[in-house]
Amino acid sequence: MSSLKKTLSLEETLSSIRETGLFSDLTLCCQSKNFAIHRCIVCLQSEYFKKALTGDFKEASSRIINLDDDPFIVEKIVQYLYGANYDDDSSPSEGRNNIPSESGNDIASGSRNPAEINAQVYIAADRYAIPDLKTLAIRKLESYLEKDWQSGEFISVLEIAYDWGGLEAPGLRGLLMRFVCQHLSGLRAQKDFLAVLKNYQEFSYDCSTMMMEKVLELEGYGY
Protein backbone atom coordinates (compact mmCIF):
# COMPACT_ATOMS: atom_id res chain seq x y z
CA MET A 1 0.00 0.00 0.00
CA SER A 2 2.81 2.42 0.88
CA SER A 3 4.45 1.74 -2.49
CA LEU A 4 1.21 2.61 -4.28
CA LYS A 5 0.92 5.86 -2.35
CA LYS A 6 4.48 6.85 -3.30
CA THR A 7 3.77 6.19 -6.98
CA LEU A 8 0.62 8.29 -6.91
CA SER A 9 2.43 11.04 -5.03
CA LEU A 10 5.18 11.15 -7.65
CA GLU A 11 2.64 11.34 -10.47
CA GLU A 12 0.83 14.16 -8.72
CA THR A 13 4.07 16.01 -8.08
CA LEU A 14 5.20 15.81 -11.70
CA SER A 15 1.77 16.89 -12.88
CA SER A 16 1.84 19.84 -10.50
CA ILE A 17 5.24 21.18 -11.52
CA ARG A 18 4.31 20.78 -15.18
CA GLU A 19 1.11 22.74 -14.75
CA THR A 20 2.53 25.47 -12.51
CA GLY A 21 6.05 25.71 -13.91
CA LEU A 22 7.38 25.76 -10.34
CA PHE A 23 11.21 25.71 -10.28
CA SER A 24 11.35 25.52 -14.08
CA ASP A 25 14.80 26.18 -15.55
CA LEU A 26 14.17 25.82 -19.28
CA THR A 27 11.81 27.49 -21.73
CA LEU A 28 10.71 26.02 -25.04
CA CYS A 29 9.64 28.82 -27.38
CA CYS A 30 7.34 27.47 -30.03
CA GLN A 31 5.54 29.86 -32.36
CA SER A 32 2.64 31.23 -30.30
CA LYS A 33 3.49 29.47 -27.03
CA ASN A 34 6.31 29.17 -24.53
CA PHE A 35 6.58 26.11 -22.29
CA ALA A 36 8.23 26.42 -18.87
CA ILE A 37 9.80 23.03 -18.15
CA HIS A 38 12.63 21.36 -16.23
CA ARG A 39 15.97 20.27 -17.66
CA CYS A 40 16.25 17.26 -15.35
CA ILE A 41 12.96 15.91 -16.72
CA VAL A 42 13.62 16.64 -20.39
CA CYS A 43 17.31 15.82 -20.78
CA LEU A 44 17.05 12.37 -19.23
CA GLN A 45 14.57 11.37 -21.94
CA SER A 46 15.81 13.25 -25.00
CA GLU A 47 19.33 13.16 -26.44
CA TYR A 48 18.45 16.15 -28.61
CA PHE A 49 17.76 18.42 -25.65
CA LYS A 50 20.57 16.90 -23.60
CA LYS A 51 23.14 17.79 -26.26
CA ALA A 52 21.68 21.26 -26.76
CA LEU A 53 21.89 22.03 -23.05
CA THR A 54 25.24 20.45 -22.20
CA GLY A 55 27.33 21.42 -25.24
CA ASP A 56 28.87 24.68 -26.42
CA PHE A 57 25.58 26.05 -27.65
CA LYS A 58 23.91 29.32 -26.70
CA GLU A 59 20.92 27.34 -25.38
CA ALA A 60 23.13 25.89 -22.65
CA SER A 61 23.59 29.34 -21.13
CA SER A 62 20.34 31.04 -22.10
CA ARG A 63 18.22 28.00 -21.22
CA ILE A 64 15.86 28.98 -24.00
CA ILE A 65 15.29 26.70 -26.98
CA ASN A 66 13.41 27.90 -30.04
CA LEU A 67 11.44 25.19 -31.82
CA ASP A 68 10.09 25.55 -35.32
CA ASP A 69 7.27 23.15 -34.57
CA ASP A 70 3.54 22.96 -34.08
CA PRO A 71 2.85 24.06 -30.47
CA PHE A 72 -0.09 21.66 -30.29
CA ILE A 73 2.26 18.71 -30.90
CA VAL A 74 4.94 20.14 -28.61
CA GLU A 75 2.34 20.24 -25.86
CA LYS A 76 1.75 16.51 -26.40
CA ILE A 77 5.49 15.91 -26.07
CA VAL A 78 5.67 17.88 -22.82
CA GLN A 79 2.66 15.98 -21.56
CA TYR A 80 4.48 12.71 -22.24
CA LEU A 81 7.78 13.80 -20.69
CA TYR A 82 6.05 14.44 -17.37
CA GLY A 83 3.54 11.60 -17.40
CA ALA A 84 4.74 8.86 -19.78
CA ASN A 85 1.56 9.33 -21.82
CA TYR A 86 -0.33 11.93 -23.85
CA ASP A 87 -3.88 12.58 -25.01
CA ASP A 88 -4.35 11.87 -28.70
CA ASP A 89 -7.44 14.02 -29.02
CA SER A 90 -7.69 17.42 -30.67
CA SER A 91 -8.53 19.40 -27.54
CA PRO A 92 -5.66 21.41 -26.01
CA SER A 93 -5.08 20.51 -22.36
CA GLU A 94 -6.51 22.83 -19.77
CA GLY A 95 -4.54 24.33 -16.91
CA ARG A 96 -1.17 23.84 -18.56
CA ASN A 97 1.66 26.18 -17.66
CA ASN A 98 2.04 27.65 -21.13
CA ILE A 99 3.57 31.11 -21.00
CA PRO A 100 1.87 33.24 -23.67
CA SER A 101 4.15 34.76 -26.25
CA GLU A 102 3.76 38.34 -27.37
CA SER A 103 1.03 37.27 -29.78
CA GLY A 104 -0.96 35.72 -26.92
CA ASN A 105 -2.54 33.14 -29.22
CA ASP A 106 -3.93 29.88 -27.89
CA ILE A 107 -2.71 26.53 -29.11
CA ALA A 108 -4.73 25.65 -32.18
CA SER A 109 -5.43 22.01 -32.94
CA GLY A 110 -7.36 22.48 -36.16
CA SER A 111 -9.49 19.53 -37.18
CA ARG A 112 -6.90 16.81 -36.61
CA ASN A 113 -7.98 13.29 -35.79
CA PRO A 114 -6.12 10.87 -33.46
CA ALA A 115 -4.43 9.13 -36.39
CA GLU A 116 -2.88 12.38 -37.60
CA ILE A 117 -1.94 13.45 -34.08
CA ASN A 118 -0.16 10.18 -33.31
CA ALA A 119 1.72 10.31 -36.62
CA GLN A 120 2.84 13.88 -35.93
CA VAL A 121 3.88 12.98 -32.39
CA TYR A 122 5.95 10.09 -33.77
CA ILE A 123 7.71 12.41 -36.21
CA ALA A 124 8.43 14.97 -33.48
CA ALA A 125 9.70 12.22 -31.16
CA ASP A 126 12.02 11.06 -33.94
CA ARG A 127 13.27 14.62 -34.44
CA TYR A 128 13.94 15.16 -30.74
CA ALA A 129 15.34 11.67 -30.09
CA ILE A 130 12.73 10.42 -27.63
CA PRO A 131 12.62 6.68 -28.47
CA ASP A 132 10.05 5.63 -25.87
CA LEU A 133 7.64 8.27 -27.15
CA LYS A 134 8.08 6.94 -30.69
CA THR A 135 7.12 3.49 -29.45
CA LEU A 136 4.04 4.84 -27.68
CA ALA A 137 2.94 6.91 -30.68
CA ILE A 138 3.21 3.90 -33.00
CA ARG A 139 1.22 1.78 -30.57
CA LYS A 140 -1.52 4.40 -30.28
CA LEU A 141 -1.68 4.86 -34.05
CA GLU A 142 -1.86 1.13 -34.71
CA SER A 143 -4.61 0.68 -32.13
CA TYR A 144 -6.64 3.56 -33.56
CA LEU A 145 -6.38 2.35 -37.16
CA GLU A 146 -7.36 -1.18 -36.17
CA LYS A 147 -10.39 -0.06 -34.16
CA ASP A 148 -11.62 2.87 -36.26
CA TRP A 149 -10.45 2.42 -39.85
CA GLN A 150 -11.30 5.35 -42.10
CA SER A 151 -9.55 5.50 -45.43
CA GLY A 152 -9.66 9.29 -45.62
CA GLU A 153 -7.84 9.67 -42.31
CA PHE A 154 -5.35 7.01 -43.32
CA ILE A 155 -4.51 8.76 -46.58
CA SER A 156 -3.91 11.97 -44.62
CA VAL A 157 -1.47 10.08 -42.37
CA LEU A 158 0.32 8.75 -45.46
CA GLU A 159 0.91 12.32 -46.61
CA ILE A 160 2.19 13.31 -43.16
CA ALA A 161 4.58 10.35 -43.06
CA TYR A 162 6.01 10.82 -46.54
CA ASP A 163 6.35 14.58 -46.19
CA TRP A 164 8.89 13.89 -43.44
CA GLY A 165 12.20 12.38 -44.48
CA GLY A 166 14.47 10.08 -42.55
CA LEU A 167 11.91 7.70 -41.09
CA GLU A 168 13.10 4.13 -41.20
CA ALA A 169 11.14 0.90 -41.40
CA PRO A 170 9.87 -0.75 -39.31
CA GLY A 171 8.79 2.58 -37.88
CA LEU A 172 5.92 4.75 -38.99
CA ARG A 173 6.21 3.94 -42.68
CA GLY A 174 6.55 0.24 -41.98
CA LEU A 175 3.30 0.29 -40.01
CA LEU A 176 1.49 2.23 -42.71
CA MET A 177 2.60 -0.17 -45.43
CA ARG A 178 1.09 -3.03 -43.45
CA PHE A 179 -2.27 -1.25 -43.44
CA VAL A 180 -1.93 -0.45 -47.15
CA CYS A 181 -1.55 -4.17 -47.77
CA GLN A 182 -4.57 -5.01 -45.63
CA HIS A 183 -6.87 -2.41 -47.22
CA LEU A 184 -5.45 -2.16 -50.73
CA SER A 185 -8.63 -3.30 -52.47
CA GLY A 186 -10.53 -0.34 -51.05
CA LEU A 187 -7.72 2.20 -51.21
CA ARG A 188 -6.87 1.69 -54.87
CA ALA A 189 -10.34 2.88 -55.89
CA GLN A 190 -9.84 6.27 -54.21
CA LYS A 191 -8.46 9.22 -56.13
CA ASP A 192 -6.71 10.65 -53.08
CA PHE A 193 -4.77 7.42 -52.56
CA LEU A 194 -3.75 7.31 -56.21
CA ALA A 195 -2.63 10.94 -55.93
CA VAL A 196 -0.36 10.04 -52.99
CA LEU A 197 1.01 7.12 -54.99
CA LYS A 198 1.78 9.49 -57.87
CA ASN A 199 3.13 12.43 -55.87
CA TYR A 200 5.37 10.64 -53.36
CA GLN A 201 8.19 8.73 -55.01
CA GLU A 202 9.30 7.02 -51.79
CA PHE A 203 5.76 5.80 -51.17
CA SER A 204 5.61 4.38 -54.70
CA TYR A 205 8.90 2.62 -54.06
CA ASP A 206 7.66 1.17 -50.76
CA CYS A 207 4.47 -0.06 -52.44
CA SER A 208 6.45 -1.67 -55.26
CA THR A 209 8.75 -3.38 -52.77
CA MET A 210 5.78 -4.64 -50.78
CA MET A 211 4.15 -6.04 -53.91
CA MET A 212 7.33 -7.85 -54.95
CA GLU A 213 7.61 -9.40 -51.50
CA LYS A 214 4.01 -10.61 -51.68
CA VAL A 215 4.56 -12.13 -55.13
CA LEU A 216 7.66 -13.94 -53.91
CA GLU A 217 5.75 -15.22 -50.88
CA LEU A 218 3.01 -16.60 -53.15
CA GLU A 219 5.64 -18.27 -55.31
CA GLY A 220 7.19 -19.82 -52.22
CA TYR A 221 10.47 -17.92 -52.21
CA GLY A 222 10.27 -15.22 -49.58
CA TYR A 223 13.11 -12.81 -48.87
Question: What gap in Å lies between CA 107 and CA 100, rounded to an integer?
Answer: 10
CATH class of 1-113: alpha beta
> Tens of pLDDT along 104-124?
444 455 678 999 999 999 999
Q: CA distances (Å), 191 to each of 62, 151, 195, 197, in order? A: 50, 11, 6, 10
In the chain, where the domains are located = 1-113
Given a contact cutoff of 8 angstroms between Cβ atoms, the answer to whether 180 and 207 are in contact is: yes
Question: What gap in Å lies between CA 195 and CA 198, rounded to an integer?
Answer: 5
Query: Which runs of E-coded beta strand occur in 38-164?
Result: 64-67, 98-100
Q: pTM here?
A: 0.83
> Tens of pLDDT along 10-47?
878 888 888 888 889 999 999 879 999 999 999 999 99
